[in-house]
Amino acid sequence: MAIFTGSAVALVTPFKEDGSVDYGQLKFLVEYHVAHKTDAIVICGTTGEASTMTEEEHMEVIQKCCEYVNKRIPVIAGTGSNCTETAVKLSQAAQKVGADALLVVTPYYNKATQNGLIRHYSTIAQAVDIPIIMYNVPGRTGCNIQPATAVAIAKQNENVVAIKEASGDISQVAKLAQLADGCIDIYSGNDNQIVPLLSLGGKGVISVTANIIPEDTHDMVIKYLEGDVAGSLALQLKSIDLCDAMFCEVNPIPVKKAVELAGLCNGYVRMPMTEAEPASVEKIKKAMMEYGITLVC
């Protein structure tokens, strides 16, 4: 059974002006997404700025999110690291505090060979009892999980059940779908490629844009899976300019500004992220207004 079908939001982490986590706003965001059709919450992923958190802070944010969600929808905890030992430690801690599944990014900076990726994911998988989603985003990590490698990992470890595919290479995803033959659930990691991934057998999306359009992101997936391909495609095409705006600077800078403009939470980011440039803010505002999102500031 899939961890989720539909749209998982790659949730932003709200910070106070002093840089501390704003748990009141985090609770509000959880309630907002549960009420607006979000099918799962990914906490402490790239969009959640986990790379700027201490391990203790990382675990506290995951624990609080699990408490706030209270099993109403799955909570998927980002626990990846470029150190396998650290990834194991984070993964075990996330399981202990109640995460339903894990999102584990490929090692970044030091990277890994394909054999190294098999060993890395297998070591993590053998240390926990909950499902794992591999996260392939070579544009950020410099490390690409080849289709045959992903299949080998899944076949060797029964709790590695899915992949978030953000390579942007549709041909690679097609090869993965062919080789996997159903043994790996595929989720789009790119908001502008949801429908193409669904056409290759995908189960849904782990979405940045869902932070501000959760219902439409959910509907885009469900319409496709229920046979309304035209309706799904219409939502995909409607969202293209908004998707572009959400990546006009390095993620999560634009989406942090967008949630602020929508009145959902503060838009503070932690260094080395910086506030969106004025030209980017105008682009974000324009895309949001054209989509039909009301700006409150």
Task: Note whether 43 and 36 are within 8 A (CB).
Answer: no
Q: What is the pTM of this model?
A: 0.97
Q: CA nearest 87: which of 60, 121, 112, 53?
A: 121
Q: What residues are paired with 164 via a beta bridge?
A: 135, 187
Fold of 6-228: TIM Barrel (3.20.20)
∠ CA 174-224-185, rounded to 5°? 45
Task: Note whether 135 and 109 are within 8 A (CB).
Answer: no
Of the pLDDT bands very low, low, confident and very high (cuts 50, 70, 90), residue 131 is very high
Residue 114 class from Cβ within 10 Å (0-12 exposed, 13-18 middle, 19+ buried)? middle
pLDDT in tens, 182-219: 999 999 999 999 999 999 999 999 999 999 999 999 99
**Domain map (residue ranges) of the chain:** 6-228
Work out the end-to-end distance of the chain between its first and last CA atoms, rounded to an integer number of angstroms.
42
Catalytic residues: 135, 164
Asked if pLDDT for residue 120 goes beyond 90, the answer is: yes
Of the pLDDT bands very low, low, confident and very high (cuts 50, 70, 90), residue 1 is confident
Residue showing tokens 């969009």: 47
